[in-house]
Amino acid sequence: MAKKKSKVTVEQPWVPLHPATRVEKTPEQIAQMRAAATDMGYDPDEIEALAREPNEMWKNHRYTIIVERWPSGHVRHISLRRNDRKPMIPWRDLQRIKNELAGDDAEAVELFPSVERLVDCANQRHLWVWPPGEWVPVGFREGAIGTPEQAAAYGAVQS
């Protein structure tokens, strides 16, 4: 009996983000978005305006990202999704995207809102970014990065 070969997926190395061009929505797509907005209790005119808004876009081999900026020019909001539309985005990728677009000295949060403010319409993630040098008023006071060996010493795993 022949053995089954296991399929091993090799992760491609990170490719830096590059500016991308947003593709305009077709009238049919806009109509579908308006209908879906109405079904979900959103204002269809507001959803259409968002769909037509010319936001800054970035892309690499894994992700497509839309960026909104503060009037000062600093990144305010990062909306991202995987290109394959699957849900899982590793924390380290989120950190790398934040660093590439907003800078190493900017802090960001991902909000898990109350049910009244919940937006869950697609496999899309959102980071809300503070201007560089301003701290988000939650979190650890100092950073720490451990090695796999240090983590193993107390029964944890660090990749």
**Spatial separation of the C-alpha atoms in residues 90 and 103, rounded to whole Å:** 19
pLDDT for residue 142: 83
pLDDT in the model for residue 46: 83
Listed by start position, the domains of the chain span 22-54, 56-159
3-state DSSP assignment of residue 103? coil
pLDDT at 114: 92
pLDDT at 109: 97
Element (H, E) at 20: strand 18-20
Name the CATH topology of 56-159. Answer: Immunoglobulin-like (2.60.40)
**Beta-bridge partners for 80:** 65, 125
Report the pLDDT value the prediction gives residue 2, as an integer from 0 to 100.
Answer: 60
**Has this prediction a pTM greater than 0.85?**
no
pLDDT of residue 4: 60
Low-confidence ranges of the chain (pLDDT < 70): 1-10, 54
Report the distance separating Cα 73 and Cα 50, nearest Å.
20
**Residue 8: its pLDDT value, please?**
56
The pLDDT score that the predictor gives to residue 158 is: 82
Name the H helices within 24-131. Answer: 27-39, 44-52, 91-102
pLDDT given for residue 56 in this prediction: 92
